[in-house]
Amino acid sequence: MRIVIAGCGKIGVSILSRLAAEGHEIVAIDSFDDTVGEIGNIYDVMTVCGSAVDFDTLNEAGVDKAELFVAVTGSDEMNMLSCFIAKGLGAKHTVARIRDPGYDEKALAFMKQQLGLSLVINPELFAAEELFNILKLPAAVNIETFSGRKMEMVELVLKPDSPLDGVSLADLRRKYSAKFLVCAVSRGGEVYIPDGSFVLKSGDRIGLTAAPTEVQKLLKMLGLVQRQARRVMILGGSTTAFYLAEKLLESGNSVTVIERDRDRCEKLSAGLPQGAVVIHGDGAQQELLLEEGLNTVDAFVSLTGMDEENILIAYFAASKDVQKVIAKVNRPEYTEMAERLGLDSIISPKKIISDVLARYARALQNTVGSNVETLYRLMDGNVEALEFKVSADFKGLKVPLKDMELKPNILIAGITRGRKAIIPSGEDAIQAGDRVVVIAAEHKLFDLDDILLQ
């Protein structure tokens, strides 16, 4: 599929690299010669230097033949205008990044309709929503949702004293009455799609699927329930921090934001709901963090623009026994370093948005079969969790799962039927209209039929 991406900043490059790896024909547009040259040297993509709203530039990029046009420049207004022009030139589907908190849902819906946008993306808002979900369930290092939150995939790290150390998955299911399925395990750099004989060990990072109420039930049985983070300290006054603080305050939490730029502090104070505490100061100074109550908060979230600073200050917060510590880390090479320091919860807006675009591109490639509705990369990107809406043409309809011949490293992790979330057993069968969560390692799935041995 031909995809044109306008804007090669951090988000643009993340989207570009992910979609290029998926085998799409990519054309990248940027207004800086150096950026275009660097992109062309690193990635197997075509490049065009010019403005994203310039008619000749868009023509040179072949927008008229594009299945998908994605505008992720630094300007919301330029992204919208660029998509409008691209649509007029013949691009079939257009996606614009719009991240200004001033655009509410009503305004975005109006602009989407008037400009013919297929999708609006907001990396900062998506990141804030993921952070909010994790803070609601502090025992988890990552939470992904499916089927309108009827089913969750929760990632946990088994501590040295974990009651699951040495327990097989078959025994685990027999011992605990909660309805759940351990569907992926990361251990020592290897990822496993486990069966019932798989034995868990301390240090494992496990992914399990269950209905939200069943997740809480299981964690309570395991003694892993931690109260929701009610007092939260956020380092950095970014747009992500604004969205997160807004969500937390609306839920009755207390929030302290520390930001070194005075103008940004004033904007945060004016824009956030009443009750937010905004501190002007350098959060890299440990004394300031302690003075503002680091020792008394339930959670610390580091959201500065520097990965290194986020990792180091989050590590300091963890050393002060803060219950939940989360760091924003965009560079993949730093994620492993953060985990070695004991920082389990890492958030990456670049990863989140590249997942969204990869899912959208796969759905466009298959407009007839069982489309990809949701797509996440788990276990440091080594596993994909996909949700499909099942069409009447699925070859495995009404076949008991125990009799279904699946490709290696494929697991059906959940079925949503109407309002009911089902953790499947071998006796269950997939029906038309179901939503099915599939875990895949070493596979790229575009349609539900792709899970079957041909």
pLDDT in tens, the chain (454 residues): 999 999 999 999 999 999 999 899 999 999 999 999 999 999 999 999 999 999 999 999 999 999 999 999 999 999 999 999 999 999 999 999 999 888 878 888 898 899 999 999 999 999 999 999 999 888 898 898 998 889 999 999 998 888 889 999 999 988 888 889 999 999 988 899 999 999 999 999 999 999 999 998 888 888 877 777 899 999 999 999 999 999 999 999 999 999 999 999 999 999 999 889 999 999 999 999 999 999 999 999 999 999 999 999 999 999 999 999 999 998 888 988 898 888 889 999 988 999 999 989 988 876 556 678 888 888 877 899 999 999 999 999 999 999 999 999 999 999 999 989 999 999 999 999 999 999 999 888 888 999 998 7
CB 22 within 8 A of CB 43: no
pLDDT at 367: 57
What's the one-letter identity of residue 107?
A
Distance between CA 23 and CA 10 in Å, rounded? 20
- Give the predicted TM-score (pTM) of the model: 0.87
Angle, helices 349-365 vs 123-136, to 10°: value is: 110
pLDDT at 369: 60
CA distances from 323 to 62, 138, 281, 296 (A): 52, 8, 23, 10
CB 405 within 8 A of CB 397: no
3-state secondary structure (DSSP) of residue 76: helix
Distance between CA 298 and CA 230 in Å, rounded? 6
3 state SS for 332-344? HHHHHHHHHCCCC
pLDDT at 325: 96
pLDDT at 282: 94
- Domains present along the chain, CATH in parentheses: 2-121 (3.40.50.720), 137-221 (3.30.70.1450), 231-322 (3.40.50.720), 354-451 (3.30.70.1450)
pLDDT at 101: 87
Encoding tokens for residue 186? 């990361």
CB 375 within 8 A of CB 144: no
pLDDT at 277: 96
8-state DSSP, 408: T
8-state DSSP, 273: P
pLDDT at 11: 93
Find how far residue 356's CA is from the centre of its chain. Answer: 8
CA geometry: angle at 350 spanning 6 and 206, to 5°? Answer: 150
Strands in 379-418 per DSSP E: 383-389, 410-417
| Backbone angles phi and psi of 313, in degrees to 5 | -75, -35
